[in-house]
């Protein structure tokens, strides 16, 4: 349930348009449902501003279908990460609006199209980092942020990054996705005034240790204003970027009665 839905429900009761019993029945299902194997959080959007996200890895298609069915009853958007095509086919049974973003391994169901605000810029050092970057960009977009992509601008050819000074200076928050040695976030952090979210990826040869080398480089960045999420965590970066971006938009503050 979203805050706007709760306002509408309470307003309906106050105006006599909704019976108290019907309102109580609707509220009974809060704050979570118990499916036995999972407890979908129906209150997440009310507390956090965005519904619970489904992490598909390790779950069967049947389990994904059941969880999604519960969340869709709340008339909310759905975001499912680390999804395989079998998960998508299961979700497609219950919502024709389901879309599978294969490269990012994300399923989205956008039932409430939010006005895109602000400017989140998503960069990659190389083309191999794009799947994680797309996970970040799609997450930020579904959460109501305007996201732009700038891919393959790593330190091996720094002129490719410097050619986009206008985009760098306009961004409210920048997500920088890099594998190998992971140096790009420090470069970007030294060029811009906005927050930089660094995402190490598991891209690289043996000594990259599955992204650990990039993670340590980013954690040791000497550029101020750089924060780091876990290896390959595009979702976490996109979510944080959207929160920062929307906080900067004064129109997003407060709750308006619908």
Question: Which CATH code fits 117-245?
Answer: 3.40.50.1970
Q: Among 106, 112, 97, 92, which residue's Cα sits nearest to residue 51?
A: 112
Rounded Cα distance between 197 and 218, Å, is 10
Which whole number is the average pLDDT over 231-235?
Answer: 96
Buried b (16+ CB within 10 A) or exposed e, 63-76: bbbbbbbbbbebeb
Of residues 26 and 22, more confidence is placed in 22
Q: Could you state, in order of their start, the residue ranges of all structural domains in the chain?
A: 31-109, 117-245
Which whole number is the average pLDDT over 209-228?
Answer: 95
> Is the per-residue pLDDT at 56 higher than 70?
yes
> Is the per-residue pLDDT at 181 higher than 60?
yes
pLDDT tens digits, one per residue of 77-110: 889 999 999 999 999 988 888 999 999 999 998 8
- Tell me the DSSP string of 176-226: EEE-TT--HHHHHHTT-SS-EEEEE-S-S-GGGGGGHHHHHHHHT--STTE
Does this model's pTM top 0.95? My answer is no
3-state class of 146 per DSSP?
strand
Per-residue pLDDT band at 12 (split at 50, 70, 90): confident
At residue 254, the pLDDT reads 41
């Amino acid at each position: 349930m979203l805050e706007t839905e709760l306002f509408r429900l309470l307003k309906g009761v106050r105006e006599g348009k909704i019976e108290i019993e019907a309102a109580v029945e609707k509220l009974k299902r809060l704050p979570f449902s118990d499916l036995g194997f999972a407890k979908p959080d129906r209150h997440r959007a009310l507390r956090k501003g965005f519904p619970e996200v489904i992490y598909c890895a390790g779950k069967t298609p049947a389990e994904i279908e059941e969880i999604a069915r519960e969340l869709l009853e709340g008339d909310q958007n759905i975001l499912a990460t680390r999804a395989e095509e079998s998960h998508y086919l299961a979700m497609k049974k219950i919502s024709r609006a389901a879309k599978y973003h294969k490269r990012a391994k994300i399923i989205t169901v956008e039932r409430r199209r939010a006005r895109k605000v602000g400017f989140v810029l998503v960069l990659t050092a190389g083309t191999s980092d794009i799947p994680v970057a797309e996970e970040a960009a799609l997450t930020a977009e579904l959460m109501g942020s305007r996201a732009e992509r700038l891919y393959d601008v790593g330190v091996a050819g720094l002129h490719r990054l410097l050619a986009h000074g206008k985009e760098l200076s306009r961004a409210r928050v920048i997500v920088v996705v890099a594998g190998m040695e992971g140096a790009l976030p420090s470069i970007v952090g030294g060029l811009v005034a906005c927050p930089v979210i660094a995402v190490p990826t598991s891209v690289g040869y043996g000594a990259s240790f599955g992204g650990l080398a990039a993670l340590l480089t980013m954690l040791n960045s000497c550029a101020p204003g750089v924060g780091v999420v876990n290896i390959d965590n595009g979702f976490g970066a996109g979510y944080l970027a959207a929160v920062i971006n929307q906080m900067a938009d004064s129109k997003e503050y407060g709750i308006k009665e619908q």
